[in-house]
Chains A and B, each alone.
Chain A
């Protein structure tokens, strides 16, 4: 099992390659979208690189639960915002994410903007723990 530092280094390398950013731009608190300029398709690229680096499997929808984000039945999303039930579900499915500022205006389109480098490290760590 790699140490926290090794996990961070692996995540950093994946982000540097996927997003063409400099090493020093990647800090634990950097947000993928806001600080590092990731677009939605980059998330897939990042997942592929993390899977390869750490020999783990991150399923579709694990970073951002797309069944919630793309809900058209108004169960989780109404008028572009997460419903109360949607927020409860998101907290359950994204335990790694700090949702405090998102909650003040839970526009579903902003869901990807909350992901940080630290969140990626957490996901990798959880996957490695489960694999042991």
Chain B
């Protein structure tokens, strides 16, 4: 099982911002219990999807060399919580701080033009100290970038097309 809480990244500007989409579907198991006759997307999983979007932005910013984890949610507000199957959310993240040790992103979740939630997420680069620990495998984050089709839309820091750093393993997109 994989822990993917976005479907696709649609905007990816290195070291600046990213956008992703998440389609809510009744096929998702957790919605059968949350809640049984009134399925509703849990807010925590909306935050996780936003964190995956911002986390990949930080991962690429450090040249794919260090694992990134969501370290803290300094502030987060849900303006609306009723998100149901059949709806499509857009997550937007802007990198406010990017340092050796991690970074901070301003984030928002939208349903069409409607602002559902907004906040600030803080991430930490795990550094080489954790490189031997199996929190997740080394290539996982890069695989996520391929899966979310970042390299179809990504723009590198110098304004050129963002290229998959490992051509030999690149996914052939249809």
Contact = CB atoms under 8 A, between A and B. Distances in A.
A52 B96 CA distance: 9
Interface residues of B, number: 14
A51 B96 CA distance: 12
Interface string A30-52: 00000000000110110110011
B118 to A, nearest CB: 16
B97 interface: yes
A110 B159 CA distance: 46
Interface of A: 17-18, 41-42, 44-45, 47-48, 51-52, 57, 59-60, 70
Given A41-B124, A45-B122, 18 more contacts: A17-B74, A18-B74, A41-B72, A41-B122, A42-B72, A44-B101, A44-B102, A44-B122, A44-B124, A45-B71, A47-B101, A48-B99, A48-B104, A52-B96, A57-B99, A60-B100, A60-B101, A70-B129
Interface in B150-172: none
Nearest to B124: A44
B66 to A, nearest CB: 12
Nearest to A60: B101
Interface in B104-131: 104, 122, 124, 129
